[in-house]
């Protein structure tokens, strides 16, 4: 079958910029689509941290100092480019110092919407200058969700009259801006294109706009696709989703086993695999030393690597963890960045249980890998979880996940049955403290029986969530879309 011309847009792409799973997935998408033989390019903003870390970026001669009017503001942007590591994929960076320099990837500044309007419009202008005419623009999350509207209005003919796919990585982030920003969109009669209810409430919702105009919408697990279409986890988008003639397609994220496999993970102290688990104990010792936890024989260690956000279910631990730590003998190692309220909770816990609880605040790729490898158990009590990657990484590392029965957690972890010896982790249903206490207690009971634990670890490590399989589902989605006649 003919190769497709694909253009992927994302606000973060690994290995250049990452705050969460979006970056892992965007990076894996471009690499794996290329491996299937498609022509792939990708765009992301040029954040200052990326500029500093990647001196290899080259200016794109045909795309320098281009002017773009956003409302009353006149901006200039340029494109820089590099080959995506280990591939011939061109990745383009939108360089607009006035909007990106001196700031984090995401802000709460009043011009936040302009940062991503500019990015989206710059992608289209960049493609025009570069002569790129994709079959499909693949947008990701609210930051790029306005592109389908631009394609349908400003490029309803010509080389950029492409099909659009929008993937929801997290419906909780919608990029809502005041309706006074309508003039910033640069469209004729913008109000006629936007959701009337939102405008009545004084807002513009980029994610909703994308869900209305994209030719296909997908999300990152089948269960999350159902949850956001049917219930409160749709976070106000249910009616927009159900108004679409097609359904949201749920495609579980894959795992990049190039980066996340204990047999060759470059961050580990010792390598290990299902046939030789000896290295796991060595990583546990390194992890406990790195986090200044007491060395404690066979004491099980529970790990967490997480954004400190409400979504991640940390509220459930406020009661449950101190009580469990008093009743049972286990260690607890957490790496996280985000909300100070949750950081303060873990800091306090580490003070109350010195040598047994350690908290490291911040973003640390190397420690994240060591926690996956050195922990016995990995805790993800999420309130909701579109897909979640760490539970899948944990399985590969023989680190048994405790997860709540939601989203991609439900699709990737099967509750262990000690009688039949089937299952890969501990799955709890209710979003409350007794449920998480039950789950931790049950998992510690399994841990105490070495034969059961061995079975559980082997089951976990035998799971395969390779991208090589999941990427075929995206390819099928593109082909199906392209086989559908394009509306005029």
CB closer to ligand ADP, 124 vs 426: 426
Q: How far is the CB of 77 from ligand ADP (least distance, A)?
A: 27
Find the binder of ligand ADP among 368, 373, 377, 395 (CB under 6 A).
368
CB closer to ligand ADP, 153 vs 337: 337
Q: How far is the CB of 390 from ligand ADP (least distance, A)?
A: 5
Q: Is 172 in the site for ligand ADP (CB under 6 A)?
A: no
Residues 279-318 that bind ligand ADP (CB under 6 A): 305-307
Nearest alpha carbon to residue 98 among 111, 81, 80: 111
Q: How far is the CB of 79 from ligand ADP (least distance, A)?
A: 27
The values of phi and psi at residue 86, to 5°, are: 75, 10
CB closer to ligand ADP, 81 vs 390: 390
| Joined tokens for residue 219 | 């999300």
Residue with tokens 């960045």: 337
Q: How far is the CB of 34 from ligand ADP (least distance, A)?
A: 21
3 state SS of 80: strand
Find the binder of ligand ADP among 5, 15, 20, 54 (CB under 6 A).
20
Residues 332-361 that bind ligand ADP (CB under 6 A): 335-337
- Residues 180-219, one symbol each (x = binds ligand ADP by CB under 6 A, - = not), give ----------------------------------------
Which of the stretches 175-183, 184-192, 206-214, 362-370 binds ligand ADP when contact is defined by CB under 6 A? 362-370
Say how far apart CA 117 and CA 106 lie, in whole Å.
13
CB closer to ligand ADP, 22 vs 57: 22
Which of the stretches 21-29, 74-82, 138-146, 469-477 binds ligand ADP when contact is defined by CB under 6 A? 21-29
| Joined tokens for residue 202 | 């004084």
Q: How far is the CB of 212 from ligand ADP (least distance, A)?
A: 25
Q: Which residues contact 416 (CB under 8 A, 6 or more apart)?
A: 400, 422, 423, 424, 425, 426, 446, 456, 459
Say how far apart CA 210 and CA 208 lie, in whole Å.
5
Chain residue whose CB lies nearest ligand ADP? 21
Residues 372-401 that bind ligand ADP (CB under 6 A): 387-390
Q: Which residues contact 435 (CB under 8 A, 6 or more apart)?
A: 316, 404, 428, 429
Q: How far is the CB of 254 from ligand ADP (least distance, A)?
A: 12
For residue 182, the number of C-alpha atoms closer than 13 Å in the C-beta half-sphere is: 17
Q: Is 365 in the site for ligand ADP (CB under 6 A)?
A: yes
CB closer to ligand ADP, 134 vs 381: 381
CB closer to ligand ADP, 136 vs 370: 370
Q: Is 106 in the site for ligand ADP (CB under 6 A)?
A: no
- Residues 246-285, one symbol each (x = binds ligand ADP by CB under 6 A, - = not), give ----------------------------------------
Q: What share of the chain is helix, strand, coil (3-state, %, to 5)?
A: 40, 20, 40
Find the binder of ligand ADP among 7, 13, 24, 406 (CB under 6 A).
24
CB closer to ligand ADP, 22 vs 160: 22
**C-alpha radius of gyration, the chain, whole number:** 23
Q: How many CB atoms lie within 10 A of CB 47?
A: 21
CB closer to ligand ADP, 112 vs 365: 365
CB closer to ligand ADP, 10 vs 78: 10
CB closer to ligand ADP, 8 vs 305: 305
Instruction: Identify the burial level of 29 via C-beta atoms within 10 angstroms of its C-beta, where 0-12 means exposed, 13-18 middle and 19 or more buried.
Output: buried
Say how far apart CA 280 and CA 376 lie, in whole Å.
9
Find the binder of ligand ADP among 363, 405, 418, 473 (CB under 6 A).
363
Q: Is 14 in the site for ligand ADP (CB under 6 A)?
A: no
Q: Which residues contact 469 (CB under 8 A, 6 or more apart)?
A: 254
Q: Is 364 in the site for ligand ADP (CB under 6 A)?
A: yes
Q: How far is the CB of 209 from ligand ADP (least distance, A)?
A: 22
CB closer to ligand ADP, 20 vs 97: 20
3 state SS of 265: coil
Count of residues engaged in binding ligand ADP, rule: CB under 6 A: 18
Q: How far is the CB of 433 from ligand ADP (least distance, A)?
A: 22
Binding site for ligand ADP (CB under 6 A): 20-22, 24, 305-307, 335-337, 363-365, 368, 387-390
């Amino acid at each position: 079958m003919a190769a497709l011309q694909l253009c992927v847009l994302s606000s973060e792409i690994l290995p250049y910029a990452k705050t969460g799973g979006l970056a892992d997935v965007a990076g894996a998408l471009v690499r794996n689509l290329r491996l299937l033989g498609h022509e792939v390019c990708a765009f992301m903003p040029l954040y200052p941290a990326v500029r500093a870390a990647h001196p290899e970026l080259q200016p794109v001669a045909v795309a320098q100092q281009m002017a773009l009017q956003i409302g009353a503001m006149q901006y200039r942007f340029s494109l820089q480019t590099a080959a995506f590591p280990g591939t011939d994929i061109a990745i383009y960076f939108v360089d607009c110092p006035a909007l990106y320099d001196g700031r984090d990837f995401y802000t709460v500044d009043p011009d936040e919407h302009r940062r991503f309007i500019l990015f989206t419009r710059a992608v289209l202008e960049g493609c025009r200058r570069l002569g790129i005419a994709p079959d499909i623009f693949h947008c990701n999350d609210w930051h790029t969700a306005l592109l389908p509207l631009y394609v349908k209005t400003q490029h309803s003919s010509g080389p950029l009259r492409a099909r659009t796919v929008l993937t929801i990585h997290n419906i909780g982030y919608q990029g809502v801006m005041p309706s006074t920003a309508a003039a910033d969109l640069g469209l004729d009669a913008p109000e006629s294109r936007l959701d009337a209810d939102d405008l009545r409430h004084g807002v513009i919702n980029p994610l909703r706009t994308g869900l209305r105009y994209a030719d296909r919408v997908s999300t990152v697990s089948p269960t999350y696709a159902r949850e956001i279409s049917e219930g409160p986890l749709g976070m106000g988008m249910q009616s927009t989703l159900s108004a679409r003639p097609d359904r949201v397609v749920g495609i579980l994220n894959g795992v990049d086993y190039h980066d996340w496999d204990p047999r060759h993970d470059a961050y580990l102290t010792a390598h290990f695999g299902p046939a030789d688990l000896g290295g796991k104990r060595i990583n546990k010792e390194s992890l406990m030393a790195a986090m200044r936890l007491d060395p404690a024989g066979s004491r099980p260690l529970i790990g967490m690597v997480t954004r400190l956000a409400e979504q991640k279910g940390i509220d459930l631990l406020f009661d449950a963890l101190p009580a469990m730590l008093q009743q049972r003998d286990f260690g607890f190692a957490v790496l996280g960045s985000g909300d100070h309220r949750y950081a303060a909770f873990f800091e306090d816990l580490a003070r109350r249980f010195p040598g047994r609880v350690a908290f490291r605040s911040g973003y640390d790729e190397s420690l994240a890998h060591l926690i996956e490898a050195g922990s016995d158990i990995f805790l993800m009590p999420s309130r909701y979880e579109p897909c979640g990657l760490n539970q899948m990484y944990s399985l590969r590392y023989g680190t048994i996940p405790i997860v709540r029965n939601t989203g991609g957690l439900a699709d990737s972890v099967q509750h262990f049955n000690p009688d039949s010896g089937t299952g890969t982790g501990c799955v709890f249903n209710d979003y409350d403290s007794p449920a998480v206490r039950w789950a931790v207690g049950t998992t510690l009971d399994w841990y105490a029986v070495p034969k059961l634990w061995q079975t559980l670890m082997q089951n976990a490590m035998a799971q395969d969530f390779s991208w090589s399989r999941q990427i075929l589902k995206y390819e099928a989605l593109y082909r199906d879309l392209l086989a559908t006649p394009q509306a005029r």
